[in-house]
C-alpha cells in the first residue's frame, strides 16, 4: 500500500498530500530506527556478560591455618579437590589458581592446573582475583571467586551465581546463601546475610542477623548462611581495589560490605547446600568423614 498518493490536482490538495507524505515518511523512518535499535539492543542482551573465568585465590600464609590450600584430604591436596569440582561447572570458559606462594604454584602444576603468581600485598581474595584478571591474556566479562577451602562445592552453585549476574544488569556482584544451622548462629566464622524481597543483599555480618531482643535464636526464622563463592562484573572488579576501605568492612572484616557501603548492588541466590568449609585443622577430619560417608574419593 502506498504511503503517499495524490487524489486531486489542486494546489491545496497537493500541499496537504505533500505534508502527509513528509509526516508518514518521518514516522516510517522513526519506526524503522526503533526497530533497528531494538534489534541491536536485544542482540547485545543475548551476549551480555558471556565470557566467564573462574579464579581460585590460594594464600599459603593464612593466619588461622597456615598452608591450608595444600593440606591433604583423603590423599589429595584440598586445592586440587576444589579445582576438580570447579571444572565441572558448565558456565566457566577458563579456570585458574591465583597465589603468592611458590609451593602452591608447584602443587598446581603437579595436578595440571593453570596458575598465576600474584603479589603478597593483596588484602583479600577479591584483590587477588583482580590482579590475576589483569594478567590473563583473554578478556572476560564475569570473574567467579571460588573459595579454595570448599572442596565439596557443587558446580551447580558456580553456574547459579553466574547466571543470576547475567540476568541482573543493575548488580555488579553475585553470591549464594543457604540455610543457617542453629549451632552455627553465633560462630563468627559463619557469615550471615539478610536480603530484600527482590533478592538483593542488605547486609552481611559475623554476628547473627537479624538479632531479636530475646538474644536467642528464633527456630522459626529462616536465617541465611553466606557461602564464600561470589562473582563480579569484570568492569567493577577493576574499580574495587581503588575504593577506600569502609567502616563496616573494617569492623566486620568482610569485603562484601565495601561493595554495599559504596552503593553497589549484590544479587543473592539461595541454594540447598551443606556448607563444609575448612577453616581450622580440625575441619579436615570432619570433611574426610563426610566424604567417606558419601563414598567420595
All three cell numbers of 262, joined, read 559504596
Cβ pair 50, 37 in contact under 8 A:
no
The enclosing H or E element of 270 equals strand 266-270
Q: Domain containing 147: what range?
A: 49-294
> What CATH number should be reported for the domain holding residue 183?
3.90.550.10
The pLDDT assigned to 47 comes to 59
Closest alpha carbon to 112 in 79, 73, 148: 79
Cα gap 241→251, rounded to integer Å: 18
In angstroms, the CA 163 to CA 52 distance is: 10
> What is the reported pLDDT for 54?
98
Q: Report yes or no on 94 lying in a domain.
A: yes
Range 173-211 burial, b when 16+ CB lie within 10 A, else e: bbbbbbebeeeebeeeebbbbebeeeebbebbbbebbee
Distance of CA 110 to the CA centre of its chain: 28
For residue 67, the model assigns a pLDDT of 84
d(CA 100, CA 84): 21
Residue 245 inside a domain? The answer is: yes
Residues in the chain, pLDDT under 50: 1-46
Q: How many CB atoms lie within 10 A of CB 45?
A: 10
With CA atoms as reference, report the closest residue to 99 among 63, 135, 73.
135
The structural domain count of the chain equals: 1
pTM: 0.80
258 within some domain: yes
In a domain, 16, yes or no: no
Give a yes or no: residue 72 inside a domain.
yes
Predicted confidence (pLDDT) per residue in 122-174, tens digit: 888 889 999 999 999 999 999 999 998 889 899 999 999 999 999 999 999 99
Q: Is residue 37 part of a domain?
A: no
Helices (H), ranges, 50-194 = 78-86, 102-110, 125-135, 155-166
Report DSSP state, residue 52: E
5 part of a folded domain: no
Residue 179 lies inside a defined structural domain of this protein = yes
| Cα separation, 183 vs 162, whole angstroms | 30
The reported pLDDT for the residue numbered 51 is 96
**Among the residues of 125-278, which ranges form H helices?**
125-135, 155-166, 234-239, 247-252, 256-261
Amino acid at each position: 500500500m502506498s504511503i503517499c498518493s495524490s487524489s486531486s490536482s489542486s494546489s491545496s490538495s497537493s500541499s496537504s498530500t505533500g505534508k502527509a507524505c513528509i509526516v508518514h515518511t518521518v514516522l516510517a523512518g522513526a519506526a524503522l530506527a526503533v526497530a533497528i535499535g531494538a534489534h541491536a539492543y536485544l542482540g547485545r542482551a543475548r551476549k551480555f556478560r558471556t565470557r566467564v573465568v573462574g579464579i581460585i585465590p590460594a594464600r599459603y600464609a593464612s593466619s588461622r591455618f597456615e598452608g591450608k590450600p595444600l593440606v591433604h584430604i583423603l590423599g589429595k591436596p584440598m586445592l586440587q579437590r576444589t579445582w576438580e569440582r570447579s571444572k565441572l561447572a558448565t558456565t566457566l570458559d577458563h579456570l585458574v589458581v591465583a597465589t603468592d606462594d611458590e609451593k602452591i604454584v608447584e602443587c598446581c602444576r603437579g595436578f595440571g592446573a593453570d596458575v598465576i603468581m600474584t603479589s603478597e600485598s593483596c588484602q583479600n581474595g577479591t584483590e587477588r582475583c583482580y590482579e590475576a584478571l589483569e594478567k590473563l591474556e583473554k578478556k572476560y566479562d564475569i570473574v567467579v571467586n571460588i573459595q579454595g577451602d570448599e572442596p565439596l562445592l557443587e558446580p551447580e552453585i558456580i553456574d547459579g551465581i553466574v547466571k543470576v549476574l547475567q540476568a541482573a544488569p543493575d548488580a555488579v556482584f553475585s553470591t549464594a546463601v543457604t540455610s543457617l544451622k542453629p549451632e552455627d548462629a553465633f560462630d563468627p566464622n559463619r557469615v550471615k546475610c539478610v536480603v530484600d524481597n527482590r533478592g538483593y543483599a542488605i547486609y552481611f555480618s559475623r554476628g547473627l542477623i537479624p538479632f531479636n531482643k530475646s538474644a536467642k535464636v528464633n527456630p522459626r526464622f529462616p536465617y541465611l548462611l553466606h557461602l564464600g563463592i561470589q562473582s563480579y562484573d569484570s568492569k567493577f572488579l577493576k574499580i574495587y581495589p581503588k575504593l577506600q576501605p569502609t567502616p563496616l568492612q573494617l569492623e566486620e572484616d568482610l569485603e562484601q560490605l565495601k561493595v554495599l557501603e559504596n552503593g553497589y548492588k549484590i544479587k543473592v541466590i539461595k541454594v540447598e547446600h551443606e556448607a563444609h568449609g575448612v577453616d581450622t585443622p580440625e575441619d579436615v577430619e570432619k570433611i574426610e568423614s563426610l566424604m567417606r560417608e558419601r563414598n567420595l574419593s
